[in-house]
A and B are shown apart, each in its own frame.
Chain A
Amino acid sequence: MAESAPLGAAQIEPVRRIAARVRESSAAGRYFAVGSSAETRDRVERTLAALLNDPRAVVVLDVSTIQGDPWNWVRAEQLRGRRSARGTLYAVHGLGALAHSAASAGRPDPYAQLNLARDAWGATGTHVLLWLDGPDAFDRFLRAAPDLWSHRDLVAWFLTSADFVPPSADSTPLYDQQAREAEAAEALLARAGEPEDSRLAAAAALAIANVERAQPLAAWEVFSSYPRPPSVRRTRRELTDAASRFEEAKAFTLQELGRENDAAGIAQRLLAAATSPPAWWREQVTHRLAQAQLASRPELAIPAMEAALASERPEFLNGLIDNLVLALRNCGEIQRATALNSGRGSEGPERGAWVDERAALLAGATGDFPVALAALSRARRVFGAVGHRRLYLATLSSTGAMLDDWGNHEEADQLLAEHPAGDLASGLWIRTQAWWRRWRRSATAEAVPLVAATSALRGHPVARAVPAAALHDLLELLEDAVEPTDPLLPVLEEVARSLVDAARTGSDKEVEGSARFALARLALLRGQRATAYGLADRTLVDWCRRWRGLVQEADAWCLLASAAPDDAAARAHVTRAKRVADSSPSILAQIRTRRRAAEVEVRAGENAAARRSLGDALALARRQGLRLQELELLHALSEVPGAPDARQAASDALGLALALMLPRDEARALLNLELLARSTGERALPRRLDRASEIVEELGPPKLRARVRAAVASRGE
Chain B
Amino acid sequence: MSENESLWLVEASKGDVDAFARIVEQYQKPVFNLCYRMLGNVEDAEDAAQEAFLRAFKSIRRYDPRRPFGTWLLSIASHYCIDQLRKKKAKGFSLDDEENSWRAPEASSPKPETVAIQREHQAEVQDLLTILNPLDRATIVLRYWYDYSYEEIAKTLNLSISAVKSRLHRARKALAEQWKAKESQEKILNVERARHESPAF
The finding on whether chains A and B are genuine partners in a shared complex, rather than unrelated, reads: no
